[in-house]
A and B are shown apart, each in its own frame.
Chain A
């Protein structure tokens, strides 16, 4: 296998069939060698699906790399850029396989429900000076109910409590991971600001709730 710098990779991959095929074969060999080291923590090399996953991911990476050559800006090694594609392809496939048969109650239903959060009368809020732990908990629960939509609540529950990957949650909610992250960020910011208005700090709340 010949050593290539970024310029040579680009030149070879854009060249005629023979030169391009040789470069693709070299990249394929590099992927087959490196990818197992990248994903063996998530899928054991002993697993019967391991080899086919690596091979499929390598093939898919070659296609995507060729397709996206123009987006490579040379800010990293070309191989690192290609490995980045391989990682996403392989982990997305693993996520899909791992979660495909798992039912996530409420996620699909909540996907369509982005209506305004429930409203509570603010007069229910106890004065800060007399808030005891139970009252504080009730207050935070109330704030969550008021500030989070059903869609945000379902997503947070799936990601934070059930440990479902964002990619899978996004797929089931009919959106994509990027949009889901923004949805979650908006929700977190909104909650943080509301807590601030109520004079509450997330870390102080955690400290108080963790006391025995």
Chain B
């Protein structure tokens, strides 16, 4: 025979499952809030990044401080999965050893 604690726990679990959506944000809201923490008033576009992606990648491979030199490009790569994948692929073409193991989803 279940103890009172077990009964209480099963009621609590059922309640949690049933009403989770009342206090737990869905995946989109979480991702959106995460992206808002990185949102800046001024951001550059995908075309702007593409225009300098070759320069930027070479600067990374030379060990230059791209956060200082090209902060807007760096910020865009954090926000845009497509541009990030292109950067990672270009890095892989130029220096396979520097290729990131956890590549961005296509």
Contacts and interface: CB of A to CB of B under 8 A. Distances in A.
A156 B32 CA distance: 8
B69 interface: no
Of A37, A87, A177, A209, chain B has the most CB atoms within 10 Å of the CB of A87
Contacts of B65: none
A77 B95 CA distance: 14
A167 B104 CA distance: 14
Say which size band chain B's interface belongs to: 35 or more
Given A41-B103, A160-B35, A133 B81 contact: no
A83 B106 contact: no
Consensus secondary structure, chain B interface: helix
Say which size band chain A's interface belongs to: 35 or more
A191 B31 contact: no
A199 interface: no
Of B25, B47, B55, chain A has the most CB atoms within 10 Å of the CB of B25
A181 B72 CA distance: 14
A163 interface: yes
Contacts of A37: 92-93, 96, 99
B51 to A, nearest CB: 9
Contacts, number: 139
B64 interface: no
Consensus secondary structure, chain A interface: helix
B48 to A, nearest CB: 9
B94 interface: yes
A178 interface: yes
B46 to A, nearest CB: 5
Given A84-B54, A166-B46, A209-B25, A189 B41 contact: yes
B78 interface: no
A182 interface: yes
Interface of B: 22-25, 27-37, 39, 41, 43, 45-47, 50, 52-55, 57-58, 80-82, 85-86, 88-90, 92-94, 96, 99, 103, 105-106
Interface of A: 34-35, 37-42, 75-77, 80-81, 83-84, 86-88, 90-91, 94-95, 98, 133-134, 137, 140-141, 144, 156-157, 159-161, 163, 165-167, 177-178, 181-182, 185, 188-189, 191-192, 195, 202-203, 205-206, 209
